[in-house]
Structure 1
Amino acid sequence: MAVSSTELGTLDIKKLLIKQSVPASIGILFMSINILIDTIFVGQWIGALAIAAVSVVLPITFLISSLGMALGIGGSSIISRALGANNKEKALHTFGNQIMLTLSLALVSVIVGLFFSDEVLLLFGANGAIMLPAREFFIPVLYGVPFLALSMMGNTVIRAEGKPKFAMIAMIIPAFSNIILDVVFIKFFNLGMFGAALATSISYFMCFVFILWFFIYKSELRFQLKHLILNNKIVSEIASLGFVTFSRQGVVAILSIILNHTLFVHGGEDSVAIYGIISRMLMFALFPILGVTQGFLPIAGYNYGAKQYSRVNKTITTSIKWAAFLATVIFIVILIFSEPIVAVFTKDAKIISETPNALRIVFAASPIIAIQLIGAAYFQAAGKAIPALLLTLTKQGFFLIPLVLVLPNYYGIFGVWISFPIADILSTLVTAFFLRKEMKQKLTLAQDGI
Structure 2
Amino acid sequence: MNVLERLETEKISKLLIEFSIPAIVGMIVFALYNIVDRIFIGKGIGAYAMAGLSICFPIFIIYIAFGMLIGQGGGSVLSIKLGEHDYKGAQKALGNTFTLFILVSLFLSIFGYIYIDKILLIFGASEVTLPYAKEYIFVINNLVIFNFMSMGISNLVRAEGNAKFAMQTMILGAITNIILDPIFIFYFHMGIKGAAYATIVSNMIVSLINTYYFTFGKKCHVRLRREDLILDMETVKMILSIGISPFSLQLTTSLATVLCNKELLLQGGDFAVGAMGIINSIYMFLSMVIAGISTGSQPILGYNFGAKKYNRVLKTFKISIIAAVSLGFFLMVCIFIVPSIFINLFNDGNQEILKIGINGIRIYFLLIPLNCFYIVGSNYFQSINKANKSLFLNLLRQIFLVIPLLLILPHYFGISGIWMIFPISDLIVFAVTVIFLKRHMTKMRRLNYASLA
Where does residue 411 of structure 2 map in the other structure?
409
Q: Equivalent residue for 1:223?
A: 224
Q: Secondary structure at the match of 1:126?
A: coil
Tell me if structure 2 keeps the 8 A contact 1:72–1:154: yes
Root-mean-square deviation over aligned CA pairs? 1.6
State whether structure 2 residue 244 is matched by structure 1 residue 243: yes
* Equivalence for 2:49: 50
Look up the equivalent residue of 2:383 and give its one-letter code.
Answer: A
2:290 maps to 1:282: no
Aligned to 1:180: 179
Q: Is the 8 A contact 1:56 1:125 kept in 2?
A: yes
Q: 1:378 to 1:65 in 2, by over 3 A?
A: closer
Amino acid at match of 1:398: F
Report the equivalent of 1:361.
Answer: 363
Q: Distance in 2 between matches of 1:219 and 1:143?
A: 31
Q: Distance in 2 between matches of 1:417 and 1:128?
A: 25
CA distance in 1, matches of 2:80, 2:376: 18
CA distance in 2, matches of 1:175, 1:59: 21
Q: 1:22-421 maps to which residues of 2 (within 5 A)?
A: 22-216=21-215, 217=217, 218-346=219-347, 347-421=349-423
Matched to 1:17, the amino acid is: L
Compute the displacement of 1:325 (Å).
1.3
Q: CA deviation at 1:32?
A: 2.5
Which deviates the most, 340-349 or 249-258?
340-349
Q: Secondary structure at the match of 2:128?
A: helix
Please give the per-residue CA displacement for 1:227-286, whole angstroms capped at 9, x wherever unaligned.
Answer: 111111111111111222222221112112101111111111011000011001111244
1:55-110 deviation per Cα after TM superposition (whole angstroms, max 9, x unaligned): 11132133134322211111211111110111100000111111111110111110
Aligned-partner Cα distance in 1 for 2:103–2:64: 12
Secondary structure at 1:116's aligned position in 2?
Answer: helix
CA distance 1:51–1:221, shift in 2 (3 Å): same
1:286-331 Cα deviation digits (max 9, x unpaired) = 4432221111211111111100001111111111111111111111
User: Which 5+ residue runs of structure 2 have no aligned equivalent?
Assistant: none
Counterpart CA distance in 2 for 1:66 and 1:250 is 6
Deviation at residue 371 of structure 1 after TM alignment: 2.2
Q: Which runs of 4+ in 1 moved over 6 A?
A: none
Letter in 2 for 1:280: S
Q: Is residue 342–residue 355 contact of structure 1 (8 Å, CA) maintained in 2?
A: yes
Q: Is the CA contact (8 Å cut-off) linking 1:3 and 1:162 kept in structure 2?
A: no
- 1:146-188 per-position Cα deviation (integer Å, ceiling 9, x unaligned): 1111222211111111111112123222221111111101122
Deviation, structure 1 residue 402: 1.7
User: Helix, strand or coil for the counterpart of 1:162?
Assistant: coil
- Distance in 2 (CA, whole Å) between partners of 1:35 and 1:220 is 32
CA distance in 2, matches of 1:97, 1:163: 20
Deviates more, 1:353-362 or 1:87-96: 353-362
Which has the higher mean CA deviation after the structures are superposed, 83-92 or 30-39?
30-39
| CA distance in 2: counterparts of 1:146 and 1:3, whole angstroms | 33
Whole-angstrom CA distance in 2 between matches of 1:323 and 1:245: 17
Alignment: residue pair count: 448
User: Could you tell me the percent identity over the aligned residues?
Assistant: 36
For 2:176 and 2:186, the matched residues in 1 are separated by 15
Deviations 1:327-349 (A, max 9, x none): 11111111112112222322111
The letter for the 1-side match of 2:392 is: L
Give 5+ residue unaligned stretches, structure 1. none
Is contact 1:65–1:106 with CA below 8 Å preserved after alignment? no
Which AA in structure 1 matches 2:434? A
Which deviates more, 303-312 or 183-192? 183-192
**Letter of the 1:350 counterpart:** E
TM norm structure 2: 0.95
User: Which whole-Å CA distance do the structure 2 matches of 1:64 and 1:3 have between them?
Assistant: 35
Q: In the TM superposition, what is the alpha-carbon distance from 1:211 to its structure 2 partner?
A: 1.2
Residue 224 of structure 1: how far off its partner (Å): 2.1
1:34, distance to aligned residue in structure 2 (A): 3.3
User: In structure 2, how many angstroms separate the alpha carbons of the residues matched to 1:194 and 1:405?
Assistant: 35
- The one-letter code matched in structure 2 to 1:39 is R
Would you say the 8 A contact 2:33–2:199 is kept in 1?
no
- The answer to whether 1:6 aligns with 2:5 is yes
Distance 1:3 1:37 in 2: 37
Q: Name the aligned partner's letter for residue 297 of structure 1.
A: Q
Could you tell me whether the CA contact under 8 Å between 2:61 and 2:251 is conserved in 1? no
